[in-house]
Amino acid sequence: MATNQLYMHFLLHAADLVEERLRRRLADLGMPPRQARVLDALDRMGAASQVDLARAFDITPASMSTMTARLIAAGFIARETDPEEARSNVLQLTAHGRSLLSEIHAAWHDVDRIIEETVGSENAAALAALTRALRDGLGGRTPGHGRNETAAGETGLPPRSR
């Protein structure tokens, strides 16, 4: 690699291109990729507060509030009183939101196939390992990890892929 190239430029550009493929694939569901990730996270976490979700995604509570308001309006999630703390609310998947999970996971698998077709299976596996190591090294984790999963069982993949 030439010394004047930045690793992050290639990583960010590739991530944008992959996300655009995913955005197109999820368009029929009327759901952007990040909202799809929130549904998957709620599936992993069960009922969760907005603060818990914001923390899991490492975004501000205000940003999560905007996203969850859209998901509530679309009927994908519901806000309910926390059964353990009557003054608090929790979010959870509705039946409609839960019914979309298999389609979301199928879209993710389709994009995985695009990556494999583009760089080959061996390179795709290496890419997954390297980006996971980068994510973990920077303090990231799979939303819901630690609540319904153990460290040994955490894969970062939808349940169908495990």
Instruction: Identify the band that residue 105 occupies on the pLDDT scale cut at 50, 70 and 90.
Output: very high
Instruction: Identify the band that residue 2 occupies on the pLDDT scale cut at 50, 70 and 90.
Output: low
Say which residue, 161 or 108, is predicted with more confidence. Answer: 108
Residue 151 belongs to a domain: no
CATH number where 117 lies: 1.10.10.10
| Mean pLDDT to the nearest integer, 14-33 | 95
Residue 158 belongs to a domain: no
pLDDT tens digit string along 135-159? 999 988 888 765 444 333 344 444 4
Q: Give dist(CA 17, CA 23) in Å, integer.
A: 10
Q: Is pLDDT of 82 > 90?
A: no
Residue 7's pLDDT is: 87
Asked if 10 contacts 79 with a C-beta cutoff of 8 angstroms, the reply is no
Residue 153 belongs to a domain: no
State the chain's mean pLDDT as an integer. Answer: 86
Residue 64's pLDDT is: 93
Q: Is pLDDT of 104 > 80?
A: yes
Say which residue, 122 or 89, is predicted with more confidence. Answer: 122
Residue 156 belongs to a domain: no
- Report which residue type is found at 63: S
Residue 155 belongs to a domain: no
Could you list the residue range(s) of the whole structural domain that residue 63 is in?
7-145
The values of phi and psi at residue 142, to 5°, are: -75, 125
The pTM of this model reads 0.81
